[in-house]
Each structure stands twice: as structure tokens, then as C-alpha cells.
Amino acid sequence: MDLEIQPVTEFKQRIEDESKLVFGKQFTDRMFVMQYDTGKGWHSARIQPYAPFTLDPAAMVLHYSQEIFEGLKAFRRPGGEIALFRPADNVKRFNLSARRMCMPEVDEQFFLDSLLELIRLEADWVPHSAGTSLYIRPTMIATEPMLGVRPADQYLCYIILSPVGAYYKGGIAPVKIWISDHYVRATEGGTGEAKTGGNYAASLYAAREAALKGYDQVLWLDAKEKRYVEEVGSMNMFFYYDGKLVTSPLKGTVLDGITRRSVIRLAKEFGIEIEERALTVDEVLEGAENGRLQEAFGAGTAVVISPVSDFCYKERCVRLGDGKPGELTMRLFNTLTGIQYGQQPDPYGWVTLV
């Protein structure tokens, strides 16, 4: 398939002061778009001016949420070059999500090449200040107008770009986590592992309750026993417990995070034992109280590494140590961002220069 590059005639006003960048509010001048029709396959691939879509009110995505997305970042390096972090992993996971949601897969090489071309054209939008990046959001939606419940026959796949600052307002500042004893995010056999909008919509109600109580995020327990900690919708969780780094196993309810994979690899290099097992909520609470739980942090593309200072479950609220980011958390954050921003070598081949 050819990639058409359309001209841009109107350019957007940029936020010049990069310290004012927030997460996901501003978008660049161009976007990648392609369409799919059953029998014809993917077609009409183009990089065009960023613009709203016209969608039929019966478009299936609007009724049955047949939608998937990805999140990755482009980083500005000290010499001015631009680097992507493990982009092929995101494209692979996009296709895994597509399969789970009965959507057509994309040609991985073509999609990756188109993404790189889009970043090249939008290179000026990659911010320069520490902690900033260009967030990349590949998305696919079902556009066929039809109210029957079945996989659609028409889709739109697109990539939009957003220059971003830190995901949480406080940057690397520790977050407070509410552990929900009632609501659940994902259940075995469900769609928890897929990056599909419905998983995130399902998390909003509990997130709002947590926010009202003064907490930043919700930590989800397993749906069956409501006993084991799983993930925080926007990040995988890691617990530095008894000198080992513990994280939930991948069994269909937890996202197979690319930052999660990178953290596991780095921690192994640091000589730290990894345990992929389900930690109980009691282990987290008691561990914080008796010191067995030394550190806890979330990991995800948007947040990178996000230290946790407090957990609250029912009426029991605990603080981890002095509430400040732990040593291992900071070492992982510094190494990961060092590789991403080109301040450290990349012995793992994670970086793709644009």
C-alpha cells in the first residue's frame, strides 16, 4: 500500500512555554489515517492535516465500543535527534488487541513505517525540556453504521500526536492509591489484557470515588476473590517486597505493559529477583506497616515510573516509609528515562532513532 502525504496549509499555535504542557490536551498539525472495508482490506493510507472525522451516528464504535488504542512516546535527545522507545512492541500489541476485539490486524511493518514518517514530518513538535515528550496514540474504531451486535465491516485506523508533560500533575511526586473493595476492572476470560476503551470507561466510577476521598488512582483487585492486587488502569504495579520485585502475572486481566517488561529486564540487570505473582492486599497493607514492603511504584508509557506513597483499603490507610520515592524506584526511573532520552547507552536495542 502507498502512503499519500497531503499538504498542510494551516499550522496550529504551539505552547511555547514547555513547562505549561499537560498530558494529552494539545495535538500536532498532522495525523495518519487509513480505512478498512471487508473484502477490500486496508486502503487510502495517508498523512493528512489533523482534523475532526465525520461519523455516522450509527457507527458501531459509538454503540458497542469496538475500539482499540496504543500509547508510545518520542523523546528528544541531547544532540537534537528523536528516539522512539520499543515501537515495534506497541504495534504487535495493537494487533493482539485487534484480534481480541474482532478487528482487522494491520501490516506491522507498514504501520511502523507510517508512524516513523509521521514523526519525521512532525519532528518540530517533539518538545525539548526535561521530562517532556511527544505522546503517540494509534487508534482503531469500527465505523460501519449498523445497530446489530457483530464485528463491523468498516474501520478507521489513525495515529495522533500530542506534546506532553508529566501524566500526573506532580510529575515524579508520589501518588496516593485507593484499593477498591467493591468495583472490579477485569475478570479472567474478559478483555482486561486488550487495550480497548471499554476497560478504561469501566474504571471511571471508582476513580471518581477515589478522587473524592483524595486519592490519585485506583488499584484493582482480582474479580474472583477480591484478594489479590492486579493493576492500576493506567499502569502496572510493582512492589519491592522482602528484597524481591513483585508484580502481577499476566493471565488475561493485566495489561502486558511495555514499561513493565522494561522494568523487569532492568531490575534483573540490577541483580534483583523478580517474582511474577499475585500479592494479596493484606501483604501490601501489613508489609507497609511492618517494613517488608519497602517500595511500590506503577509503570506505564504515560506515567513512566510513578512512586506510590500511600495505600488505602476500606478504612485502613498506610504510608510507605517516609512517603518519598524509594531508592530502587528512582534508580529504575533514572535508568529507563536515561535510555529513552539518550543520556545513557541502550544495551537492549530498545531505542529506534527517527
DSSP assigned state of 56? -
Which of residues 50 and 200 has its CB atom nearest to ligand COI in the complex? Answer: 200
**Closest distance to ligand COI from the beta carbon of 305 (Å):** 12
Question: Could you tell me which residues are beta bridge partners of residue 157?
Answer: 34, 140
- Minimum CB separation of residue 33 from ligand COI in Å reads 20
Please, which residue, 287 or 300, has the CB nearer to ligand COI? Answer: 300
CB of 20 to ligand COI, least distance (A): 19
Interacting residues toward ligand COI by CB under 6 A: 71, 200, 234, 300-302
- In the complex with ligand COI, the residue whose CB is nearer, 154 or 337, is 337
* Angle value at C-alpha 198, between 194 and 203, nearest 5 degrees: 100
Instruction: State the Cα–Cα distance between residues 94 and 270, nearest whole angstrom.
Output: 30
Other beta carbons within 10 angstroms of residue 267's beta carbon come to: 21
* Between 45 and 126, CB nearer to ligand COI: 126
Are 163 and 82 in contact by the 8 Å Cβ rule? The answer is no
The least distance separating ligand COI from the CB of residue 218, rounded to whole angstroms, comes to 13
> Looking at beta carbons only, is 230 or 283 nearer to ligand COI?
230
C-alpha cell of residue 227? 484478594
Question: What does the alpha-carbon distance between residue 323 and residue 307 come to, in Å, rounded to a whole number?
Answer: 9
**Nearer CB in complex with ligand COI: 210/302:** 302
Maximum distance among all Cα pairs of the chain, rounded to whole angstroms: 62
Q: Which is nearer to ligand COI, 32 or 42 (CB)?
A: 32
Residue among 51 and 201 whose Cβ is closer to ligand COI: 201
Report in angstroms the alpha-carbon separations of 42 from 198, 249, 289, 324, 334: 24, 35, 55, 49, 40
Least distance from C-beta 9 to ligand COI, angstroms?
31
Residue nearest to ligand COI (CB): 71
We find the least distance from the C-beta atom of residue 192 to ligand COI, in angstroms, to be 13
The total number of residues written for the chain in this structure:
354
Report the nearest approach of ligand COI to the CB of residue 172 (Å).
Answer: 15
CB of 166 to ligand COI, least distance (A): 12
